[in-house]
Structure 1
Amino acid sequence: MASPVYFTDFRSKGKSILEKLEKLVLKAGLETINFEKKFVAIKVHFGEPGNVAYIRPNYTRRIVEIIKRLGGLPFLTDCNTLYKGRRSNAIDHLQAAHENGFTPETVGCDLIIADGLKGSDYREIEINLTHIKKAKIGTAIADADIFISINHFKGHEMTGFGGALKNIGMGCGAVPGKLEMHSNSKPKVVTEKCVGCKMCELNCNHNAIKVNEHHKAWINYDLCVGCGQCVAVCRYDAAQVVWNEGGNTAWKKIDEYAFAVVKGKPHFHINFLMDISPDCDCWSSHDAPIVPDIGILASFDPVALDQASVDLVNQAPVLAPSKISDHHPHYDPSSDRFQLIHPHSNWQEGLAYAESIGLGSRTYQLLRVE
C-alpha cells in the first residue's frame, strides 16, 4: 500500500501560509490522534546561530496552537549536539533558541532540552536491530506520549540529505547516542586540552577514565565501553569523538534510532522544503539554496515523507548561483541533486534500510492540498 503524503505549495492565493499549513496537517490526519491530556514532544532544530535557514518559529506556533486546541500538552524539544557549538549543553542551547526567536512567548509553549544539562540524560529503548540493541534517546522525548517532528529539508554531507529521518534519529539521540551513530571507535583524550578537572572521571560509570599525576585524563580501553559520557561532560573539548563511521552505516544507525523514537507511540511528521541549502543546519552559516522553495509536506510515514521530498527536489530547477551551478555548470537536468553536491553519500540506501526495518514505505501517494 502506498503511504499518503500531503503537499501544499507556497503560493498564498490570498491565504496566509500559516492557514495553508493548518489545512495541510488537518487534511493529513493530525486531529485523528488522541491528544487529550497527553504530553506531546515537538522535535525541531532551533538553528545554530549564524545559520538562518532554520524553520521560522511562526510555523511551530501554529502546530502548537492546533495541538492545544485538541487537548494536548505540547513542548518544543531537541537534544544537545555532539560537537562543541552553541547547542552542546542545555544553557547555551536554550540561549541559542531564544536568540533565533524560539521563546515560550513566540511559540506558545515551553522549550525542553530532552537530554538534560550536559546531554547525558536519556532512556535506553530496546530495539534489538542490526547495529543498535538499545538506543539512548533523550529522556523528555522518550517519556512523551506523542511525537511530532517538524523538519527543514536540505542537503547533508554524510547522508546526502537531512529530512524527517535524520531529524528524528540523530536529533533525538542523547550525546552518547550521537557518539554511537557517528563512530565505531571509543573516544579519545586530546591531552593538551585537558585541564585535569576530573569531570570525566567523576561521571564515568565504568571506572575507565582517570586523571593522572600530571593532571591529564587517560582512558583505560580495556574498561571503556564507548558510551560517550566523557564527551558529554567535558567542557574543554578534551574528550573527543573519533569520527570514523562511514555514511552508509551511519544512515542505518540513524534509521534504527528513529525506529526507537517512534516505537509504541503515535507520531506525525512535517517537512518544509524551503531554503534548501546544500549542507547541514548545524553549521553556523548556510549557503545559497540549490533549488527554489517548493512547499510543505505532511505524513504519518517518515520514510514516504522523505522519499516524496527528495523526489520533489530532484524535479525542481537548479538555482544559480549555488553549489550545484558553481561546481557543475553543465549538469544533466535529470541528475540527482544530492549526489551532485555530495557524491560520496548514498541517500537511497538510507531510505531502503528504513523501509526494511518497518519504519515506513518508500511507495507513496502525493495528495495536493490547495
Structure 2
Amino acid sequence: MEKSKVYFTNMHTTMNENLPQKLSRLVKTAGIQGIDFDKKFVAIKIHFGEPGNLAYLRPNYAKTIADIVKDLGGKPFLTDCNTLYVGGRKNALDHLESAYVNGYSPFSTGCHILIGDGLKGTDEALVPVEGGEYVKEAKIGQAVMDADIIISLNHFKGHELTGFGGAIKNIGMGCGSRAGKMEMHSSGKPQVSQEQCVGCGMCTKICAHSAITITDRKASINHDKCVGCGRCIGVCPTGAIVPAWDESNDILNKKMAEYTWAVLHERPHFHISLVIDVSPFCDCHAENDIPIVPNVGMFASFDPIALDVACADAVNGQPVMAGSLLEKSLKNHKDHFTDVNPTTDWKVGIDHAVKMGLGSKDYELITI
C-alpha cells in the first residue's frame, strides 16, 4: 500500500513570504486545488478557543484558507459545535461572542461563522456508522453535515483525555452535537446537580421520553426512561444537568474515530495542522500553559491519520521546553504526550481510525 503524503513547512519566513503566504503555498502544493469547490459549501472546522486561552490559532490562518476556497469557486464558512461543559461556547450566541472576542469575524476571516449544532446544541443529523464498534448512529451538527466539503484546520496540541488534539479530535469530537459529545465522553446517562437546579422545567419540556420530573422545584431523571440523547443538557440554563464523564480514555478515543468516519464518509476532505504553541492541554481550557516543545511548523494532507501521526512524530522529535509541564513530568516514555498526560494513549485512537478505513499510519513527509 502506498504511503500517504504529508506536506510540511517550518515557521521561518523571508522578506518575500510571510506565514499566511507560506501556508497558502503549503496547501496548494499538497493538492487542495484538486478538489472541485465550484459553488460548493465548504465547512472549515476550527476551534475558536475558550476565552482566556491564548494558544488557539489566530484568525489570519483561517482567512488564508477561506480565501483559497473562494478563489476556487467555493462558499466557505468557519464552524464548530457547542461544548458539553459550561463555558464560553455552550450555546451559539455565547459561542459566536467568544469567537468575536478571539478575533474571528466575517471581517477578519473573509467568511461567515456558523455554529454547527445550532442555538442550544440540539440541531443535529443522525448519521449511521457502518462498522462502528461503539457508535451505531453518530450525532453530528446539522450545518456540518449540510456542507459539501470538509476542511479541518487544526491547532495541534496536547490533551488530557486523548493524548493530543489534531485532525481526528477536531473533526470527531468537534463536529459532534452536544448529545454526540456526551455519547463520546460518557458510558451512562445525564444526571442533575440538585444544588444548581432551579426547577424551571425547561428539561421536562424538551424530553421526548417523559424521563424528567420536577419535585419540590428540583429536577430528577429516571434512567429507566432516559435514552441519553442529551437534549436536556442543551436547554438547562444553569448547567445543572451534566453527563457522567465516566468513559475510559481508550474508548473515548475509539468513539472519536467513529465520529470522524461519520463526518468524512463519502465527502471530499482536506486537513491542515499547525504545530505551534503546543500547549499541554486542550484549547477548551480558559487558560493555557507554557508550550511543551518549540514551534515545529505547518502540515497538510488528504489523510487525517497520516497527518496526526506525522505531527505526533514531529513533536516527539523536539527538545523539551524549559519550565514546561513536560519538563516537570518527564519520565523517559519517549512520548511527550504520555509524559504530560500519563493516563492517555493516543495510539489507541489512531489504530481504531485505521480499522475504520480513515487512512494510513504510514506516511511520506514532503518538505517544501
TM-score, scaled to structure 1? 0.97
- Quote the residue 2:173 is aligned against: 170
Question: Residue 351 in 1 paired to residue 350 in 2?
Answer: yes
Paired with 1:262 and 1:285, the residues of 2 have a C-alpha distance of 31
Q: 1:218 aligns with which of 217, 220, 233?
A: 220
Paired with 2:213 and 2:33, the residues of 1 have a C-alpha distance of 53
Residue 193 of structure 1, CA deviation: 1.4
- Quote the residue 2:277 is aligned against: 275
- Quote the residue 2:309 is aligned against: 307
Residue 13 of structure 1, CA deviation: 2.9
Paired with 1:177 and 1:84, the residues of 2 have a C-alpha distance of 16
- Quote the residue 2:3 is aligned against: 2
Q: 2:196 aligns with which of 193, 196, 199?
A: 193
Q: Which amino acid aligns with 1:145?
A: D
Identity %: 52
Question: Residue 265 in 1 paired to residue 267 in 2?
Answer: yes
Q: Which amino acid aligns with 1:270?
A: I
Q: 1:362 aligns to what SS in structure 2?
A: coil
Residue 192 of structure 1, CA deviation: 2.1
User: Once superposed, which parts of structure 1, at least 4 consecutive aligned residues long, lie more than 6 Å away?
Assistant: none
- Quote the residue 1:31 is aligned against: 33
Paired with 1:31 and 1:209, the residues of 2 have a C-alpha distance of 51
Q: Which runs of 5+ in 1 are unaligned?
A: none
Q: Which amino acid aligns with 1:362?
A: K
Paired with 1:327 and 1:41, the residues of 2 have a C-alpha distance of 38
Q: 2:114 aligns to what SS in structure 1?
A: strand
After superposition, give the CA deviation of every residue in 1:150-177 in whole Å (9 maximum; x if it has no partner).
0000010011111110010000000000
1:114-129 equivalent positions in 2, closer than 5 A: 114-128=116-130, 129=132
Q: Which amino acid aligns with 2:337?
A: F
Q: 1:304 aligns to what SS in structure 2?
A: helix
Residue 349 of structure 1, CA deviation: 1.1
Q: Which amino acid aligns with 1:7?
A: F
Question: Residue 208 in 1 paired to residue 211 in 2?
Answer: yes
Paired with 2:226 and 2:329, the residues of 1 have a C-alpha distance of 44
Question: Residue 364 in 1 paired to residue 366 in 2?
Answer: no
Provide the aligned C-alpha RMSD in A. 0.9
Paired with 2:87 and 2:294, the residues of 1 have a C-alpha distance of 29
Q: 1:232 aligns to what SS in structure 2?
A: helix
After superposition, give the CA deviation of every residue in 1:279-324 in whole Å (9 maximum; x if it has no partner).
1110000010011000000001000000000000000111101011
Q: 2:366 aligns to what SS in structure 1?
A: strand
Residue 51 of structure 1, CA deviation: 0.4
Residue 351 of structure 1, CA deviation: 0.6
Count of residue pairs brought into register by the alignment: 365
- Quote the residue 1:12 is aligned against: 13
- Quote the residue 1:230 is aligned against: 232
Q: 2:89 aligns with which of 87, 98, 107?
A: 87
Paired with 1:239 and 1:349, the residues of 2 have a C-alpha distance of 30
Paired with 1:183 and 1:126, the residues of 2 have a C-alpha distance of 19
Paired with 2:13 and 2:92, the residues of 1 have a C-alpha distance of 37
